[in-house]
Chains A and B, each alone.
Chain A
């Protein structure tokens, strides 16, 4: 077994290195958790006061520090928790597991004394945002459904396609260039109801992180960002439940110990119930969605921990009982955390993900069923080796198998005009080997460097069609078909992805950072609209589709004010993308047996300035962000091969998110968002064809800009005081979406109007064009009731 032998030879290498490096040093390690529910805390600062050095807990809440033997005061600090100092006498390797108590809500601003480090300034990572799920729940939300993706859309460097969409665009990247992970399993379409909501149920989310640049070498596969969402492990101390009733959907979740302090579970469900109202109103067009999350977490001993997590969500639409339509994601994650020794931490994961959609018609004559899916299974081995306080090494191997089944049409009734037809399935094997080291060079300079080797194979079993001219989508001439057997190599792409981040501390409260990363994407979304829709399909890199490659550099200045209460950052970036996937004008991307003839690949360039000011602690918290950017695409064969602005180009974007804890009864939240208008294609003229068709004359792609988008949302959370004496605690969240009822353009289309003359006949002599703007939500109040028990 290739993985195993690699794994063990590396292991051997490090156990030898250990002898050399570790003389006279001892290791302190352990897990840091929340005292109330046993949830592991990610990113806790562990600081050795005497040595002025430290580390942070990894994504599993684990830390490891190797120090000279001695007596130390170790400070554990984490936002939202009380800072705790522990004194340890280190003579031999030692484990120190710690449970941090949450911070009591303070009514007044309190200056924190014990705050030795602040991640904003000191960590090497840049172009990265953590989301505070607790805060998100207090923010105003559309129909009262808290949604992390809607908050992500407000971060600097991130752009949304408009309201009511779950797509986001990071630093000039298209919507499919974001790797969206739930417990490490990819989600291929994060939208419910075409984007009104995302698939993430805020009740089960523990932590979410967005990487826009300086992406660590353990991540790969997408050009522009990684959204790493982790669900809660479940309370391992006591049984606990929560439920929420909103206008559109309700949620319920239950968590608790299976065996106290050893193992726990969490299950959560959410379902929308618009369809129940519609049914009551005798409406035949029905629509609903649901999400199910479950996780079991077992701590066998201090050296072995196991997790099993699963997610399944689906949207189901029914039009008049005649036409049905559904889509959904299902993921499964098994993880095994193992400590080989005090400093060698391993995470082994088995991950599966499936995205599928189906359309069906019950019509007697046109009855058909159309299904499409994408399945993948991955095995990942990730190892962290805590060499010494100055070096933390990560390395690993990932392998993924993917099957793309873009479409199958089958008749559903006897006598249907359709016959069974299936598009060619494609398969891919995706290997990645990576290594990365975080090195503290001296008190001022820290580096994080690494490299990822991506070996991507388009493999059989499939038939490869050879075209006389693969770029000709009009006169398609197939010259040959080559058959490949199972796992037979069709095309291999090897890419080396260097990653580098550096931080230079100017003084304890400010730093400069730099990062460079190359990213490679071998899974391409086949979508030509601005916003992906659930019936888009994906395709692997192949002889007709080259890997997309992005190089990005970023510089940043990070500064904290007022005892780290305010965090400020300013970053500039430049991103150059090659082989970005686009499609010919008029491309037919649905059930096209000659899809490769529609592919057009080109280049894209994006650059910008991003600023963010954030306040994470105190009664008043929130952030303000501003982004100035420009994104262009140049694709041979599209827009007469001339450069055009990307759909997601926005010159300015400005957002404010704030919450205020007035007292223990009331808290308030608000969002404000402003962005320059979206570029769109508007016809320049009109012409006649046939009996009475009026066609649009198109000249330049994306040559027109919609009006600017801006919106204010407000919310208030009421936590009744009588809660204190009850076993179950209730709260009310009142939201107002679009408080000043701005008519924001969702989309703009043009149409030709044919008036009628006095006799009721079409008056072609007075035909005219007009532009119609669609806007979605006027002022929209909502209320959500939450119970915790």
Chain B
């Protein structure tokens, strides 16, 4: 329901034209970007440290390889992170926890990153995640008549409970054959529970599948901070320049000292299924 401005843009689109223009944008001081996730799954959790680039600079953004990264919880456990332990060329700038660990619901986690002589910290809590009762496969008749991708007209229906006694925030990730479906980095599926009833029944997920595809549906719990971050990130990525939508802004973050990004702590619910008749 937050995407009302899309409908206006749709209307505007009927009569409008678009073209690329070159802007004269000044250089801007570089800032640190931190992207960390701790879940309740036992694994080597990752934190990525990178930097911002100027508006027109192409390619991947620069990574920070010499940061000191650790995560601690409110029970006194400290997990040290190591930069790219497997020396994988694609993992430069990624720090993995030295040993696998699983976060626990109810605990508060603190991230500590030291980079360029500065210290950045962030705090997030692990909330419980709703149990997804089941997923159901159906055929979307409209899509079958006119599929965007050939053979991809199977839809997954989502059934879950929405606890009414707590304020809950959700992030969803949908995978098709191992690939995250997010419209090439423009879509984020997140929700809070305002105006939601206690049952979510037969809610179709926004991805179509073909027979034989493997589907993974992940539901993450978020804190309110996490919800706000994804909400703001979505608006930041999809801003119309402030005509109808609010002026673009940097997402609200739990990181201190001017770092961009977010440190997210989530309980995860993951369901996998293969599309069959």
- The interface of chain A, by Cβ under 8 A from chain B, is 161-162, 164, 193-194, 285, 287, 317, 319, 323, 325, 359, 364-366, 368, 370, 409, 411, 415-419, 421, 474-476, 528-531, 533, 535, 583, 585-591, 593, 647, 680-699, 701-702, 704, 743, 746-750, 752, 754, 762, 764-778
Name B32's closest neighbour in chain A (CB-CB): A687
Residues of B within 8 A of A682 (CB): 23, 25, 55
CB A594 to nearest CB in B, in angstroms, measures 10
Q: Is the CB of B194 within 8 A of A591?
A: yes
Residues of B within 8 A of A588 (CB): 2, 231
Q: Is the CB of A687 within 8 A of B61?
A: yes
Q: Is the CB of A695 within 8 A of B237?
A: yes
Complex Cα distance, B239 from A354, in Å, reads 31
Q: Is the CB of B233 within 8 A of A693?
A: yes
Residue B145 is within 8 A (CB to CB) of chain A in the complex:
no
Q: Is the CB of B195 within 8 A of A590?
A: no
Given known pairs A194-B12, A695-B233, the reply for A704 and B23 (CB within 8 Å) is yes
Complex Cα distance, B199 from A764, in Å, reads 40
Find the residue from B2, B55, B58, B224 having the highest chain A CB count within 10 A.
B55
Q: Is the CB of A474 within 8 A of B225?
A: yes
Residues of A within 8 A of B48 (CB): 688
By Cβ-Cβ distance, the 8 closest A-B pairs, closest first, are A419-B197, A684-B28, A528-B246, A585-B249, A747-B243, A749-B241, A692-B185, A421-B195
State which of A162, A418, A769 has its C-beta within 8 Å of the C-beta of B197: A418
Q: Is the CB of B243 within 8 A of A683?
A: no
Complex Cα distance, B4 from A416, in Å, reads 20
Residue B57 is within 8 A (CB to CB) of chain A in the complex:
yes
Given known pairs A586-B232, A588-B231, the reply for A681 and B203 (CB within 8 Å) is no
CB<8 Å pairs between A and B, sample of 23 = A370-B1, A417-B196, A418-B196, A531-B244, A680-B241, A684-B55, A685-B57, A686-B54, A687-B31, A689-B233, A693-B188, A697-B250, A697-B260, A704-B25, A747-B243, A749-B239, A764-B60, A766-B58, A772-B19, A773-B20, A774-B12, A774-B16, A775-B19
Residues of B within 8 A of A533 (CB): 4-5, 8, 244
Name A585's closest neighbour in chain B (CB-CB): B249
Q: Is the CB of A586 within 8 A of B249?
A: yes
Q: Is the CB of A695 within 8 A of B236?
A: yes
> A-facing mask of B180-205, CB < 8 A → 1, else 0?
10101100100000111111111110
Complex Cα distance, B234 from A694, in Å, reads 10
State which of B8, B16, B58, B195 has its C-beta within 8 Å of the C-beta of A768: B58
Q: Is the CB of A415 within 8 A of B194?
A: no
Q: Is the CB of B1 within 8 A of A591?
A: yes
State which of B26, B28, B244, B246 has its C-beta within 8 Å of the C-beta of A586: B246
Name A364's closest neighbour in chain B (CB-CB): B202
Q: Is the CB of A771 within 8 A of B22?
A: yes
Name A691's closest neighbour in chain B (CB-CB): B180
Residues of B within 8 A of A285 (CB): 10
Given known pairs A680-B242, A693-B185, the reply for A590 and B2 (CB within 8 Å) is yes
Q: Is the CB of B21 within 8 A of A771?
A: yes
> A-facing mask of B32-57, CB < 8 A → 1, else 0?
01010000000000001011111111
Complex Cα distance, B51 from A747, in Å, reads 29
Q: Is the CB of A689 within 8 A of B180?
A: no
Given known pairs A419-B197, A687-B53, A689-B233, the reply for A746 and B252 (CB within 8 Å) is no
Q: Is the CB of A746 within 8 A of B61?
A: no
Given known pairs A193-B11, A418-B196, the reply for A769 and B33 (CB within 8 Å) is no
State which of A593, A685, A765 has its C-beta within 8 Å of the C-beta of B53: A685
Find the residue from B22, B59, B235, B246 having the highest chain A CB count within 10 A.
B246
Residues of A within 8 A of B204 (CB): 365
Q: Is the CB of A774 within 8 A of B17?
A: yes
Given known pairs A680-B241, A770-B20, the reply for A590 and B246 (CB within 8 Å) is no
Residue B73 is within 8 A (CB to CB) of chain A in the complex:
no
Complex Cα distance, B240 from A680, in Å, reads 11
Residue B134 is within 8 A (CB to CB) of chain A in the complex:
no
CB A569 to nearest CB in B, in angstroms, measures 33
Given known pairs A365-B203, A417-B200, A474-B224, the reply for A681 and B242 (CB within 8 Å) is yes
Name A418's closest neighbour in chain B (CB-CB): B195
Given known pairs A419-B195, A530-B242, A680-B241, the reply for A775 and B249 (CB within 8 Å) is no
Complex Cα distance, B28 from A587, in Å, reads 25
> A-facing mask of B206-246, CB < 8 A → 1, else 0?
00000000000000000011001001110111011111111
Name B188's closest neighbour in chain A (CB-CB): A693
Complex Cα distance, B127 from A308, in Å, reads 60
Q: Is the CB of A765 within 8 A of B1?
A: no
Q: Is the CB of B182 within 8 A of A691?
A: yes
CB A495 to nearest CB in B, in angstroms, measures 30
Find the residue from A359, A593, A684, A695 having the highest chain B CB count within 10 A.
A695
Given known pairs A368-B195, A680-B241, A772-B18, the reply for A586 and B235 (CB within 8 Å) is yes
CB A567 to nearest CB in B, in angstroms, measures 36
Name A696's closest neighbour in chain B (CB-CB): B236
Complex Cα distance, B201 from A749, in Å, reads 37
Residue B251 is within 8 A (CB to CB) of chain A in the complex:
yes
Name B239's closest neighbour in chain A (CB-CB): A749
Residues of B within 8 A of A194 (CB): 8, 11-12
Residues of A within 8 A of B195 (CB): 368, 409, 418-419, 421, 591
Given A586-B232, A769-B56, 20 other A-B contacts at CB below 8 A? Answer: A164-B15, A325-B7, A365-B201, A365-B203, A529-B245, A585-B249, A586-B246, A590-B4, A591-B194, A591-B195, A685-B28, A685-B54, A685-B55, A687-B61, A687-B261, A743-B17, A747-B242, A748-B241, A772-B18, A775-B18
CB B56 to nearest CB in A, in angstroms, measures 6
CB B139 to nearest CB in A, in angstroms, measures 15
> A-facing mask of B90-106, CB < 8 A → 1, else 0?
00000000000000000
Q: Is the CB of A692 within 8 A of B246?
A: no
State which of B17, B59, B233, B237 has its C-beta within 8 Å of the C-beta of A778: B17
Given known pairs A417-B201, A583-B246, A693-B237, the reply for A687 and B52 (CB within 8 Å) is yes
CB A281 to nearest CB in B, in angstroms, measures 12
Residues of B within 8 A of A697 (CB): 28, 31, 52, 55, 250, 260
Q: Is the CB of B239 within 8 A of A696?
A: yes
Residues of B within 8 A of A417 (CB): 162, 196-197, 199-201, 203
Residues of A within 8 A of B33 (CB): 687-689
Q: Is the CB of B194 within 8 A of A698?
A: no
Complex Cα distance, B195 from A766, in Å, reads 42
State which of B12, B245, B260 has its C-beta within 8 Å of the C-beta of A746: B12
State which of A319, A647, A770 has its C-beta within 8 Å of the C-beta of B242: A647
CB A178 to nearest CB in B, in angstroms, measures 19
State which of A359, A583, A684, A692 has its C-beta within 8 Å of the C-beta of B184: A692
CB A642 to nearest CB in B, in angstroms, measures 14
Q: Is the CB of B18 within 8 A of A773?
A: yes
Q: Is the CB of A747 within 8 A of B241?
A: yes
Q: Is the CB of A530 within 8 A of B184?
A: no
Name B233's closest neighbour in chain A (CB-CB): A695
Given known pairs A686-B57, A692-B182, the reply for A319 and B7 (CB within 8 Å) is yes
Residue B248 is within 8 A (CB to CB) of chain A in the complex:
yes
State which of B59, B196, B252 has its C-beta within 8 Å of the C-beta of A766: B59
Residues 61-117 of B at the A interface (beta carbon under 8 Å): 61
Residues of B within 8 A of A583 (CB): 246
Q: Is the CB of A701 within 8 A of B16?
A: no
Residues of B within 8 A of A701 (CB): 247
Q: Is the CB of B252 within 8 A of A773?
A: no
Find the residue from A415, A475, A693, A765 having the highest chain B CB count within 10 A.
A693
CB B225 to nearest CB in A, in angstroms, measures 7
Q: Is the CB of B202 within 8 A of A776?
A: no
Residue B262 is within 8 A (CB to CB) of chain A in the complex:
yes
CB B61 to nearest CB in A, in angstroms, measures 5
Complex Cα distance, B54 from A701, in Å, reads 17
Residues of A within 8 A of B252 (CB): 474, 585-586
CB B39 to nearest CB in A, in angstroms, measures 14
Name A422's closest neighbour in chain B (CB-CB): B195
